[in-house]
Amino acid sequence: MDDRAFASTTKLTTEIGDRRIGCLELLDFYVARAERHNAALNAIVVWHVEQARARARAADAALARGERWGPLHGIPMTVKESFNIAGLPTTFGNPLWKDNIAAENAFLIDRLLQAGAIIFGKTNVPYMLADAQSYNDIYGTTNNPWDRARSPGGSSGGEAAALAAGLSALGAGSDIAGSLRNPAHYSGIYGHKPTWGLVSTRGHAPPGIKTPTDISVVGPMARSAEDLDLALRALAAPDLLQQAAWRVELPPPRHRRLHDFRVAVWVSSPLCRIDTSVSGLFHRAIDVVRRTGAVVDDAARPGVDDEAHHRLFMLLLRAATASRMRDEDFLRQQEIAATITEDDVSDRAAVARGATILHRAWGNANEARTKLRYTWHEFFKNFDVLLTPVAATASFPHNHNPNRDERTVIVNGRSVPYAEQLFFAGLASLSYLPATAAPIGLTSEGLPAGLQVIGPEGEDPTTIEFARLLAAEIGGFTPPPAYA
């Protein structure tokens, strides 16, 4: 196995600092791997190599002078296509925007550059970032490096595939309903959904949009929990409108030893049936945590009803994403909303309700959400983390049926609605909670699966540290055999 291809960013920063490898040398190493393997995966879809090489040479020169730009000095990385990088296309996979060239960098991009990173490419997404797969009419379909007949997830699927295959040292994605977490789960890597607002989303929006999207966040993706922590600390900072008065100081994790954690476990819901291939790995991980001496409670809940919580999440989610709709699409949603019944729980109905919600009704829904945030605050006085599945199954075969309500996944031998995958993602997303997706092993089919570590609002280091400690007990990232 090529150890450097799958080395942690934390290790690579040490090697760069000790002058055991040069910044340009490391960049060219990853570019060569990407050129060798990307054609089969279609993970990296926008290249920025010559500019990256110029920056890598400058990074080497800086080190020769005794200068270090930041904690990510010289680290070659990729980012999701939907982040603006000045001079490069940002399309969201939408053919209408195929000629949209960003005029300035996204906030996240500037923070990465200030930390010393070297960005050499952008990775694939689904149309409008609105799918648990990553394909579009501009760039085509991204394949999972564990099985190219399957999806790496979405909407940060290109990023997950690149990291899993060792084409990049570090990554960045976004998440509103699992878009960073489910690709981490399906591809066997780590991903962190930050507390909402911790990292500015400016420059991660359709052309001309400045207002942050409710629920949506941007965050790091990596092959180790340590790398998530390193990257998050580089990203967390006030944006332009807050810089005069605000400072970001992440708290330390609540504990540094696994057996000190108070762990709540939520493994099943009538709204999201979990395949035994995934639940078996999940329970094995919980058993390991329990054997360390940690307090583990399988019945603890924050006092919320599954169905009511999920319905509220879907309403506010679809209201948030409706801001991206074209006028003609909005008019179509108005027509659909006029025909749906109260008991219609299809994704089609949820989209129509959210897209056409009146502001008064949205205000009432937001009030219900705010009360939930306080409910979670009380819950996390008694528990440090809540562990849940990320999704119902391991990676599934590509399914490009344009009618999402007809899409299904196979759970324990039965077809279930594709949209059921959103339930556990919504537990963290709705109430702005931090959540870390971490790998927990391979199914009998040889596919990776993960779990979700949800924590208290604003205490992101706690979920990341739990994931790090868990990896020390059960193992972490495993390279896909075809790329090792």
22 lies in the same domain as 126: yes
252 lies in the same domain as 313: no
Q: Tens digits of per-residue pLDDT, 353-398? A: 999 999 999 999 999 999 999 999 999 999 999 999 999 999 999 9
42 lies in the same domain as 133: yes
25 lies in the same domain as 131: yes
CA distance 130 to 137: 14
CA distance 177 to 155: 9
Structural domain boundaries, residue 93: 3-259
246 lies in the same domain as 312: no
Q: Is the pTM of this model over 0.95?
A: yes
Residue type, 19: R
Residue type, 419: A
* SS3 of residue 127 by DSSP: helix
Phi/psi-derived region of residue 303, left when phi > 0, alpha when psi is between -120 and 50, beta in every other case: left
CA distance 42 to 45: 7
Closest CA to 471 of 288, 294, 298, 219: 288
Closest CA to 106 of 31, 259, 218: 218
Residue 444's pLDDT is: 98
Q: Count each helix (H run) and each strand (E run) in the chain, helices first.
A: 14, 15
Residue 1's pLDDT is: 55
CA distance 201 to 195: 12
247 lies in the same domain as 348: no
Residue 324's pLDDT is: 82
H helices within 249-297, ranges in order?
276-291
Q: Is the dihedral of CA 419, 424, 425, 426 positive or negative?
A: positive
Asked whether the beta carbons of 85 and 48 are under 8 A apart, the reply is: yes
End-of-domain residue from the set 319, 338, 365: 365
Asked whether the beta carbons of 348 and 318 are under 8 A apart, the reply is: no
End-of-domain residue from the set 244, 259, 274: 259
24 lies in the same domain as 172: yes
CB atoms within 10 A of CB 270: 8
Q: What kind and span of H or E run contains 308? A: helix 306-321
Closest CA to 468 of 441, 442, 438, 448: 438
CATH classification at residue 37: 3.90.1300.10
Residue 66's pLDDT is: 98
* Rounded to 5°, angle at Cα 138 from 135 and 142: 30
173 lies in the same domain as 313: no
User: From residue 64, how far is each of 14, 51, 60, 151, 469 by CA, in Å?
Assistant: 15, 20, 6, 43, 36
CA distance 348 to 351: 5
236 lies in the same domain as 327: no
Q: Over its length of 484 residues, how does the chain's per-residue pLDDT go in tens digits?
A: 578 999 999 999 999 999 999 999 999 999 999 999 999 999 999 999 999 999 999 999 999 999 999 999 999 999 999 999 999 999 999 999 999 999 999 999 999 999 999 999 999 999 999 999 999 999 999 999 999 999 999 999 999 999 999 999 999 999 999 999 999 999 999 999 999 999 999 999 999 999 999 999 999 999 999 999 999 999 999 999 999 999 999 999 999 999 999 999 999 999 999 999 999 999 999 999 999 999 999 999 999 999 999 999 999 999 999 988 889 999 999 999 999 999 998 889 999 999 999 999 999 999 999 999 999 999 999 999 999 999 999 999 999 999 988 999 999 999 999 988 899 999 999 999 999 999 999 999 999 999 999 999 999 999 999 999 999 999 999 999 999 9
24 lies in the same domain as 86: yes
Query: Please, which residues bridge with residue 192 across strands?
Result: 436
Query: Please, which residues bridge with residue 78 across strands?
Result: 121
CA distance 339 to 318: 17
236 lies in the same domain as 107: yes
Asked whether the beta carbons of 108 and 118 are under 8 A apart, the reply is: no
End-of-domain residue from the set 319, 346, 365: 365
- The structural domain count of the chain equals 2
162 lies in the same domain as 67: yes
DSSP string for residues in 17-38: HTTSS-HHHHHHHHHHHHHHHH
Asked whether the beta carbons of 47 and 39 are under 8 A apart, the reply is: no
Asked whether the beta carbons of 70 and 115 are under 8 A apart, the reply is: yes
CA distance 156 to 178: 9
Q: Tens digits of per-residue pLDDT, 34-87? A: 999 999 999 999 999 999 999 999 999 999 999 999 999 999 999 999 999 999
Asked whether the beta carbons of 70 and 114 are under 8 A apart, the reply is: yes
Q: Is the dihedral of CA 35, 39, 44, 50 positive or negative?
A: positive
What are residue 223's phi and psi, to 5 degrees?
A: -100, 5
Asked whether the beta carbons of 231 and 189 are under 8 A apart, the reply is: no
